[in-house]
Structure 1
Amino acid sequence: MALTLTVRLRHGRYDAGDMRPSQAEWPPHPARLFCALAASAVETDDWDALRWLERAGTPTVRAAMDDVRPGRTDSYVVTNQTEQKPGSQSWPGRTNGARSRAFVTPACDRFAVVWPGADPDPEVLARLGALARRVPYVGRSTSQAEVSVTGSLPEDEPAWSELAPVPLGTPGAIELRVPYAGYTDALQDAYDRGGRAWEAARALPYSPVVATPEPVPTHLSPWDDLIIWGFERPSARINGDQMARLTLALRKAVISRVTDPVPAQVSGHGADDRTHVAFLALPDVDQPHSDGHLLGVALALPRHMPAEDWTLLAKAVMADPLTRLTPWSGEPVRLGQGQNLRTLRRGRWTGHRAGTRTWVTATPMMTDSFARPGRSYEQMVAKSLRRAGFPDVTEVEVSTAPLTGGAIWRPRPGSLPPNRPKKPIVHARVTFDRPVVGPVIAGSMRYLGLGLFVPEGVPG
């Protein structure tokens, strides 16, 4: 429930002086409208309805705050001062005094004062409505108005801003006079003494209500976790272009350890409609002196992998730890904890816990589709990301060269599996339409480590 007093300015102009009379009052003060109702009160029930309203809480104001045009009128009016040489020809013995009155013409000829939590009974609502209908003006008598009362929130006007009370000391706040418990009696007492309404006024600070945007939901990667191995030292430096040899050797070693039957999401056979385990090589990227050499390998585990399959895989590589790979003849690559390097931290590849919007390729992406006339590389990258299970992108930058320091240019010729279709291989920087929690992997060979993205601007 709510109570709303809506004012329509008949001539689109609001004539009222602010707390400084030389300035126009805007936004309108709730107490100004309350006083207009009080000036229309006649019966005891009218005053009772006003006493109910003054206790209904602190109201908010809805009014146009942009394109408010100020104005001023200058005139001579008769004063109450008497002199031997009066200046008024109409009122003998009186003088004329110059008066300058400020007014505003807002962009919308309507404003509303709203008590959001008020719940008047039908009798009070009807009595307030009758008072409102008797109000001829709000402010000066030149500010003619129509006032109406409803027991609900007002229909919004596009030009309106909402102003609500704020704590004392809030920067930029505006002081507005407001009704308060006992205000009706204070107004009657001021009237009986021949005083002015402003003598009974109290003001509170108000500020425009800033709409809080709806939070954008975070998108979770199709891969839920990473099992990471670093290369044991001493170890010969492995160039980034050897990534495919490492990931193929990692896949072979893992599958050889998993008890038959190998889960479809581990082998990739028979799980075309589900995300597979991705076998990754982790390059040194996105740092001042990154050169793209490989620092470790990892398994990216599907988010919706059955628990029994996850347990089977973890037991295969962790209960009896995987300690070596043989991607080529000669000395094997030894795996272990590795050093405490940024590249070997999970957060380096998953980004912020609340998600990250912008990601850039650390390893080149092989697109899911072939190049065709009328199909841009940007479209192909966006399509590959959607196919991998990621949201739409709002920006895509594509390049044949790396877009971040140390990113791998291309896999070494002959290192990819034979008979692979020759699809475009590119680097990309993408901005998603919502925050994404990684890892982000996309493209035709994402399960062998191509198309691995790194979150941009996220410290390890």
Structure 2
Amino acid sequence: MFLLVRARFLAGYEGREWPPSPARLFKALVAVSRHNVADADSALEWLEGQAPPTVLASRASSMRSRLRRFVPNNSEVDPKTGNAEWPSARASKEPERLHAWRLEPPAEVAYVWSVAERSAHSDVVVAIARRLQSLGKGEDFVVARGEYANEIPSGLVRYKPGAKWDGFSLEVPDKGCLSVCCELFRRRAADPGWNKIHELPTMGTRLEAYAPEVDEVGEPHLPIAMFGLWKGGSRRAFDARLLRVPVGQCRHLLSTIVNEAAAEMASDFTQREALMRLGQSLLCGHAVDGGKYEGPHAAVVPLPSVLGPHPDGRVRRVALIGFGCTEARALELFETVVALLHERELIDDGIATGVRLRREHDEDWLSLLTRPAAVWESVTPVVLERPEFVRKEWEELGHKQRRQEARAGHARSAQELDRAIAERREELVRAAVDRLGIGEVVDIESSRAPWRAGAHAASQYRTAGYLRQSPRFHVRVRFREPVPGPIIVGRGKYVGFGLLRPLP
């Protein structure tokens, strides 16, 4: 059984570290427990004796704080006297450096302790947790609750204590932490300028190494963000055959947001320019010279509604998949852009559409993109990277003569022509999948018709520009071993074409 204390931030987080340390939580619990909570001290002494908790937290990226302090910093020490400064005597004029974090939805942190069974002490901790109003600074408002669970919840990044590699350290409560908190309050109540914490027999806290949980394979994390398309309080549904409409609007907005993210992440002009160039290439697919960026970059992927008993294939969600965004700086930029995209309105030719992007966390849709499987089939058609045959190859194949013979009723000529075209399609799709380097392909099927209800015939999907020159088909790919997603294949992989889904 697990004891959880969960806190959802209402207006961001201004602390120095993310996730907030277990010691911050403990001190906040001590503060609110002073208001007539029966048996609070014995419950908190029991809690400080527990092993460091596992911490679950939303993803977050650092940002410049929107807050500025306009009051004297009374915690500063006068270098001449060694005493605390007071406004009436001398107040430090240097502004205090404030930290801030942009939290991804649901902007939540949870602390998880493994307990043998429910007890009176743990029940008191649950009762105290309901009283929390802030976690960290006074402006870090939260809604909190304590609860029991048989399993650790999913959907948040899991940070485990006792890390053996280079992670980071968080402050955790140690034996005597409650006594230290009470003594600090007593001494500062008697002498507001008292700041000699080193005189206490113990600090009441210690540092514990934490690290985010990673999979056994140790592959770089591929960031994925999902957004719902909303207009006027309901979902906006696009026709999947017009993929370029939602994709084009999202990519236009993305280009604008990248510049905002760079300005927020860096105040230095040189660093800001470097971030803008990085974002334009890795997130927008634009090279420095204004051409097309040839390396892997983020894909805007419309998600046709193919789940549930009545799939209609309309697009009500889009995913931003950060291909190439695995380095620390690129990942931080991706997360900042994702946070800025939340609740932004799509623009079509300079006209506001009223459609807004809202960040969503849906395990079913995430599984549709990432679940390992041996067989994958297309949801949107795969655009081949070249026609099956060029003119010279058609002539060598005797295409004109074979078609004439097929029309005259020679079935063998028609079968040979169909077989040659199918083999070339398989060859082209296999080459595209092999370039992904995800696994050995055993078999490939192609069809102009969709595999499932909700999708459309490949020829019905509108294309423009370079995509119009290439044929498109629905494909089904079988691998020798199950492989994880996301898998997006073909020439239009960055604009919504070639999305594959796993089969049971």
- Please identify which structure carries the higher helix content: 2
- TM-score w.r.t. the length of structure 2 is 0.42
- Please identify which structure carries the higher strand content: 1
- TM-score w.r.t. the length of structure 1 is 0.46
Structure with bigger gyration radius: 1
